Amino acid sequence: MIVDLHPTEDQRMIEESVRAFLADRLPVERLREPAHQGGAAEAAAWAELTALGLFGLGLDEARGGLGLGLAEEALVARALGLHLVSPSVVAQMIAPHLAPDDALRAALVAGETRAAFANRIGEAGGHLIDGAGASHAVLLAGGVALIGIDALGSPEPVDAIDETVRIARMLAAFPAAPRDAASDRALLLLAAYLTGIAQATRDMAVAYAITREQFGQPIGAFQAIKHMAADMATRAAAAEAQCFHAAVTFGRGLDDGIEAAAAALLAETAALANAGANIQIHGGMGFTAECDAHLYLKRAHLLASLAGGRRLHQRRLLGTAS
Amino acid sequence: MKIIESPELDAFRDECRAWLADNVPREKRPPEGPAMRDFDLAWQKRQYEGGWAGVSWPKDYGGRGLSVLEQLVWHEEYARAGAPPSGSMFVALSHAGPTLIVSGSKAQKARHLPTILRGEENWCQGFSEPGAGSDLAALKTRAVIDGDHLVVNGTKIWTSYGHLATWQELLVRTDPDLPRHKGISWVICDMRTPGIDIRPIKAMSGLTHFCQVFYDDVRIPLANVVGEVNGGWRVAMTTLGFERGTGTIAHQIELSNTVDRLIAAARDLPAADGRGRVIDDGAVVADLATLRAEVLALRSLTAASVSRGMREEVPGAEGNIVALWFGELSRRVHAAALDLLGPRGLERGGDHDWPLHYLEAYKWAIGGGTSEIRRNAIGERVLGLPKGPSAR
């Protein structure tokens, strides 16, 4: 199978329009303000996000979507990661694919009915992420399912590592669902989001290394920093290439489970390692809450957890996962 | 981003596969020495006779003139058929030949391109010196014009197959007073010329593939200068390489096969403590799974690189990303093999000589640009960080 990983003109236009919108309306700096956290800024921009066509992008036209593919959805998910957009926007992209009937699907595509991620925690309930305004949950429980949020019991707010999202603890127990094509599609979008974090932190570190001077020169001239940056670029490139290769070939005869698990593993590694390296390159400022570097690290941990974690991806890669 | 569907490419793939199935040598390639060189030349001759010589070379120069996508298909099928590496023909096919095509005179092309394609003569590369490795422009091997000849004195090192090659692409300093990139010439050197002394160097793997070459008043006709005298740096750097990211596909597929082989071994072999199999250890699963993901990413990075190659006139610095990933990964894969296989993995010989492959794998992060030089290039030329002293 010959895979062209260069974006088509249409793909480039979709990605650029989403990136331009996000840079304008949902820049990462918004998260410094508690009033814009927890999906609030996204809720304020909801009509425009819907109008951009995000929520039916990869859905067949016959089912009310734009008839594009997983590659286009992954490009959008990467852009969402670049701007640390609420994970609920990714959940809203996945939900229409899982809707059991036309009416619900149409309402999800139109953004009238809203979805958020719920993450199963073993036998003991789970987390609902940025669930304000959502009536449905995209439940990540091995496999993936769309359920009514009422079935989750009464969620209790908890503080978690990423204080820019609102997390609620649910006590209702959920059975694990089998992994299937739908869950691997969802996994690839989470992986694409993580590659966005890997890219954003690479660029933030490079920009700082060019301007910050010590010993009379930009710190990026020192090989110790330059080589860290080169490794950040390499990790990001490998994760992106695998992610988009898996998205383009999805359902076309390669082992989608292994391809998606590889993408998720590399994307998690790239996002966490790059977010960490970005903090290191920013030095003392990077350790503070005044610098945005910490936001990427915290979000990377949340998304890695939503994607199932590296141990799961590793077992799937060797066919030893249950 | 899309899957390229093409009945023409499918038909071309069938054609490659059929020819390779009938023609790939059945006999084992000798590991080194003149027997290996003769094997490489014979395989090149067979490809020539089948119309498959110089697949990436333009048709005007006797090559097959394949498009980037056809090259990709050819290299994939080549690797799947288990066809031998170009080995001692590599420099001729992938570097010297393309350089002559771009910068050589009519006479130089007529003399050398056909003998390369027909597998009659092979080439080696005389670029690096003991004092000019990563910093190639520091080279000192001196050439003085004497009538219609250059007289060369000095030494070259890491000359792969120097003891087995007929010709050499040689970089010499023709004017030490000019700025260091400006006083260099690119010369065709006949390895049989009097005054050339070749000392093979044994690598840590035990293989003897490269040499140090000493030049003592070696007389080379001025007509063998490619491009202008003192214009050799430009000649060396403008060798486009017609391969556009497709040249490493065989290595990528081989590394992927190695990881599969390791996973199969871990499933088969009893654990060291006698309980269960090697793969029952979660740490082993983590290591092998990560390597499998990384070789899949290598394939994806290669696809990205070929996708760029279809659109670029001159390969960009991004190629360093794939090379860095491959060099580091190759070493880790083989180190994991020794770790997983335990004491039996340390045995030499056998149907898969793991220590040989492990020791040889170190070369990928050194030869053709060390990982550190590649990181400099990625930092400076891809990311735009300030240049250090190594920047060219």
pLDDT in tens, B174-183: 999 999 999 9
Alpha-carbon distance of B232 to B180, in angstroms, equals: 11
- Region B144-154 average pLDDT: 98
Verify whether the Cβ–Cβ distance A317 to B300 is below 8 Å.
no
Judge whether A262 lies within some domain. yes
Q: What is the pLDDT of residue A125?
A: 85
Query: CATH number of the domain that A224 lies in?
Result: 1.20.140.10
* Per-residue confidence band for B239, with pLDDT thresholds at 50, 70 and 90: low
State which amino acid sits at residue B15.
E
Nearest neighbour of B293 by CB, restricted to A226, A252, A266: A266
Contact A250, A186 (CB under 8 A): no
Contact A166, A123 (CB under 8 A): no
Nearest neighbour of B1 by CB, restricted to A71, A221, A233: A71
Percent of chain A predicted with pLDDT > 90: 91
**Which positions ≥6 away from A319 have C-beta within 8 Å?**
none
Judge whether A234 lies within some domain. yes
Verify whether the Cβ–Cβ distance A313 to B378 is below 8 Å.
no
How close, in Å, is residue A168 to chain B by CA atoms? Answer: 32
- For A134-151, the pLDDT digits (tens) are 999 999 998 999 999 988
Please give the tally of structural domains in chain A: 1
Contact list, A222 vs chain B (CB under 8 Å): 388
* Per-residue confidence band for B14, with pLDDT thresholds at 50, 70 and 90: very high
Alpha-carbon distance of A5 to A34, in angstroms, equals: 39
* Per-residue confidence band for B392, with pLDDT thresholds at 50, 70 and 90: very low
Among B18-32, B247-261, B277-291, which is the least confidently predicted range? Answer: B247-261
DSSP state of B96: I
| CA nearest to A213 within chain B | B386
| CA nearest to B305 within chain A | A5
Q: What angle do CA B338, B339, B341 make, to 5 degrees?
A: 65
- For A178-216, the pLDDT digits (tens) are 899 999 999 999 999 999 999 999 999 999 999 999 999
Verify whether the Cβ–Cβ distance B303 to A5 is below 8 Å.
yes
| CA nearest to A312 within chain B | B286
Judge whether A167 lies within some domain. no
**Which positions ≥6 away from B253 have C-beta within 8 Å?**
B76, B79, B80
Alpha-carbon distance of B343 to A218, in angstroms, equals: 49
Residue A303 has pLDDT above 90, yes or no: yes
Residue B71 has pLDDT above 80, yes or no: yes
Judge whether A241 lies within some domain. yes
Mutation choice for B interface testing from A195, A234, A254 by most B CBs within 10 A: A234
Residue B237 has pLDDT above 90, yes or no: no
Within chain B, strands assigned E span: 2-4, 123-126, 142-146, 149-160, 167-173, 184-190, 196-201, 210-221, 225-226
Percent of chain A predicted with pLDDT > 70: 100
Alpha-carbon distance of A75 to A82, in angstroms, equals: 11
Q: Compute the mean pLDDT over every residue in chain B, rounded to the nearest whole number.
A: 93
* Chain pair A-B, CB pairs under 8 angstroms: 166
Contact list, B386 vs chain A (CB under 8 Å): 210, 217-218, 220-221
Residue A30 has pLDDT above 80, yes or no: yes
Closest CA to B241 of B131, B99, B347: B99
Closest CA to B93 of B73, B70, B118: B118
Verify whether the Cβ–Cβ distance B293 to A313 is below 8 Å.
yes
Judge whether A218 lies within some domain. yes
Q: What is the pLDDT of residue B391?
A: 44
Mutation choice for A interface testing from B285, B385, B387, B390 by most A CBs within 10 A: B385
Contact list, A223 vs chain B (CB under 8 Å): 372, 375-376, 388
How close, in Å, is residue B320 to chain A by CA atoms? Answer: 9
- Region B278-294 average pLDDT: 96
Confirm whether B243 is a catalytic residue.
yes
Contact list, B296 vs chain A (CB under 8 Å): 242, 245, 258-259, 262
Judge whether A265 lies within some domain. yes
- For A282-292, the pLDDT digits (tens) are 999 999 999 99
* Per-residue confidence band for A322, with pLDDT thresholds at 50, 70 and 90: low
Closest CA to A169 of A161, A178, A159, A179: A159
* Per-residue confidence band for B219, with pLDDT thresholds at 50, 70 and 90: very high
Q: Annotated catalytic residue: which of B70, B243, B318, B360?
A: B243
Closest CA to A116 of A103, A129, A126: A129
**Two tokens at A138?**
């995209």
What 3-state DSSP class applies to B190? strand
- For B181-201, the pLDDT digits (tens) are 999 999 999 999 999 999 999
Judge whether A130 lies within some domain. no
Query: Which residue range forms the structural domain that includes residue A261?
Result: 181-318
Judge whether A219 lies within some domain. yes
Verify whether the Cβ–Cβ distance A4 to B292 is below 8 Å.
no
| CA nearest to B386 within chain A | A221
Residue B390 has pLDDT above 80, yes or no: no
* Per-residue confidence band for B389, with pLDDT thresholds at 50, 70 and 90: low
Among A22-26, A49-53, B103-107, B131-135, which is the least confidently predicted range? Answer: B131-135
CA distances B237 to B133, B162, B173, B189, B246, Å, are 15, 22, 16, 19, 19
Contact A64, A102 (CB under 8 A): yes
